[in-house]
Amino acid sequence: MSVERRTVDLSTYPDLVVIYLGMRVNAWRGLKTLLGLGPQIEKSWKAKPEGLLLHENLVFSIVPVHTGMRQYWRDFDSLEQWARSEPHRIWWQNFLRDSGGTGFWHETYFMRGGIEAIYDDMHAPIGMQKFAPTRPARGPMFSARTRVGGGGTAPAPVVSEADLYGK
């Protein structure tokens, strides 16, 4: 029996952005953080934010507990606008004050070319960290827009670099 091969026509999505996000439990209290955030995340994507085409939940590992999601966005502007709005803005501010015993990461892939990533409190390398050099997320590496070289002006960050690093 031959394999039925299929593909997709993405010509109507020239600015498509795919983002993988993950949260790994680094300490026992991280389970509480992760379990508390799950229903909030589900509610947020079920509200159908402008530009979100698809959300899929993923499990990366059971031990350590490491879950995440894959999202498809119409364009980076939609993703970035959502990331600066509530509830995401509040989640991000809270996480950057205290990771709650978890580590967080995302990797973003752009149809027009380019990749950017961030890894926060990840105690062991994951994804591109396993083969590419890492550096502090400061200066031009602080914002997703500037990491990918997206041009334009990045909106005000959820937490400024000065506030985060105390300088």
Domains of the chain in start order, with CATH, are 17-149 (3.30.70.100)
Render the burial of 116-133: b for 16+ CB within 10 Å, e for the rest: bbbbebbeeebbeeeeee
Q: What is the pLDDT of residue 103?
A: 98
CA-atom Rg of the chain in angstroms: 17
The answer on pLDDT for 57 being more than 70 is: yes
Kindly report whether the peptide bond that precedes residue 64 is cis, defined as omega within 30 degrees of 0.
yes
- pTM recorded for the entire structure: 0.93
Q: What is the pLDDT of residue 167?
A: 65
pLDDT in tens, 73-121: 999 999 999 999 999 999 999 999 999 999 999 999 999 999 999 999 9
Tell the residue number behind the tokens 């005000």, with chain if given.
156
